Amino acid sequence: MSHPFESLTPDLVLDAVESLGYLSDARVLALNSYENRVYQVGIEDEQPLIAKFYRPQRWSDAAIREEHAFALELADCEVPVVAPLVRDGESLFEHAGFRFALFPRRGGRAPEPGNLDQLYRLGGLLGRLHAVGASRPFEHREALKVQNFGHDSLATLLDGGFVPKSLLPAYESVARDLLARLDGLFAATPYRAIRIHGDCHPGNLLCRDDSFHIVDLDDCRMGPPVQDLWMMLAGDRQERLGQLAELMDGYQEFHDFEPRQLALIEGLRALRLIHYSAWLARRWDDPAFPPSFPWFGSERYWGEQILILREQRAALDEEPLRLF
């Protein structure tokens, strides 16, 4: 069976954009995106627009509209975010069976690893994001939990036969042991779940003209605020402690942080590792995935995953990062 995205041709992209009253110059550039399909579309006598076509059957219309409403709420509060364009009171559109949204084009570069000045500013940006995120909950978007990111992801990998048989016992053993540890960790670490970005890696916080802006809220959900912070840290423990101090100095100018959440960092890292493998497995019928991730399914990949998960299990025994 063909995949739905196979019918998403350049002509269809242009027709979708022009259905909203824009006049394109017929230039379409596919951007680097796998979960959805994203294109830069040239517009006559205006700046190009970014057209995002949502993966069918992933999010409900209500969940996508919550993503858009969150972005627009952030923009209204002067938090720098790339929010969808609104036409006649609507931000989610449909054309030829595809749901799509339009965004202004915003370029930039990712933060420099370990740059303390940037971390202070990023902390302030994320504090502002979370101050808005804490004001009300999502109603239609899932929360980040050990069950859906961990146990359900492992079930996808095992039930689908994605792990080579020669490595299956070792992978299943370390993954189940790790998830049992995470069940206990999250049960013992209370936190207030708020609306978060959800996929806050440095590539989604871009710098332009010495100011940062937030992009791609596609994975926003309810979850612990520290989920949006830990991917800003890199290096050894001492380096991460210094980076955390700068990040928190900026963050807590705008939003209070619960220090006990720091105990969740290595657990959240472990969930991201297992969830990433399951994400590849769930998307393997998409023709864009096999050529882009040819190593997935190889014994080398799964052997490396076993070692990484064992290291992550050991990291759970280390003392969590602390604020000083």
Q: From the candidates 61, 216, 256, 285, which is the catalytic residue?
A: 216
Distance (Å, rounded) from C-alpha 211 to C-alpha 108?
9
Torsion angles phi and psi, residue 45, rounded to 5: 60, 20
Q: Would you state the structure tokens that stand for residue 89, as one six-digit string?
A: 């009171």
| 256 catalytic residue (yes or no) | no
216 carries a ligand binding annotation: yes
CA of residue 210 relative to chain centroid, distance = 23
Residue 92 CA: distances (Å) to CA of 64, 166, 287: 8, 46, 25
| Strands across the sheet containing 37-43 | 24-30, 37-43, 46-53, 98-104, 93-95
| 209 catalytic residue (yes or no) | no
What stretches of the chain show up as alpha helix (H) in DSSP?
A: 10-18, 61-76, 116-133, 146, 152-159, 168-188, 237-251, 265-282, 289-292, 299-315
Q: From the candidates 11, 88, 183, 199, which is the catalytic residue?
A: 199
For the annotated catalytic residues, the residue numbers are 199, 216
Residues in binding site = 204, 216
Residues in binding site for Mg(2+) = 204, 216
